[in-house]
């Protein structure tokens, strides 16, 4: 059984999904790879304990109180490679960023491979089903490009600003 709720945030309306005990999805309304099927099939249940805990976590996050990811029970669905990438995303400290290339090096090391494609890692980052909490917005291009955020570059900028990241060091790529 999948349950759903919504949360109004400074970056827009958030859709949150749970299996009853864990968060399995969180996305910003209109984001690429939106969890349409889960939203359509999910049962609205605003009073689930995990939803209350997640909403309080989000309240604290948006108030810049730096809540720990480990406070929430997360169960993102994905293959072993994506799970590996998402685990590394959870290690990026609040208010800090990492490049896709540096993230790819960490993943390659863990998987005992000589190298790893930054594009493959970027694809896994982009398919993160639990946005904001699993902080895919903290990954940037090696040249300072604020590229590749499924929720939209404007949302990525807002989230980094909430975390007091100096975005003057970054730029939005021209399309």
Would you name the residues annotated as active-site residues? 136
Q: Say which DSSP state 26 is in.
A: E
Which helix (H) or strand (E) segment holds residue 119: the answer is helix 118-126
Task: Give me the sheet containing 43-44, strands edge to edge.
Answer: 23-28, 12-18, 3-9, 43-44
Rounded Cα gap, residues 167 and 162, in angstroms: 11
Strand partners, 16: 5, 26
164 CB-contact burial (10 Å; exposed 0-12 / middle 13-18 / buried 19+): exposed
Q: Say which DSSP state 72 is in.
A: S
- 88: which 2 tokens? 């590394």
How many CB atoms sit inside 10 A of residue 106's CB? 17
């Amino acid at each position: 059984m999948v349950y759903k709720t919504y949360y109004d945030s400074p970056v827009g309306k958030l859709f949150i999904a749970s299996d009853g005990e864990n968060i399995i999805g969180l996305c910003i309304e209109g984001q690429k790879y939106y969890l349409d099927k889960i939203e359509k099939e999910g049962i609205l249940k605003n009073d689930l304990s995990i939803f209350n805990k997640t909403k309080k976590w989000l309240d604290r996050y948006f108030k810049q109180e730096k809540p720990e990811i480990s406070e929430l029970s997360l169960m993102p669905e994905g293959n072993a490679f994506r799970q590996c990438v998402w685990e590394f995303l959870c290690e990026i400290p609040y208010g800090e960023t990492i490049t896709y290339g540096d993230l790819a090096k960490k993943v390659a090391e863990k998987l005992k491979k000589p190298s790893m494609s930054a594009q493959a890692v970027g694809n896994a980052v982009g398919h993160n089903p639990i946005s904001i909490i699993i902080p895919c917005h903290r990954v940037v291009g090696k040249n300072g490009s604020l590229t590749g955020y499924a929720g939209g570059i404007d949302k990525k900028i807002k989230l980094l600003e909430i975390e007091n990241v100096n975005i003057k060091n970054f730029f939005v790529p021209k399309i």
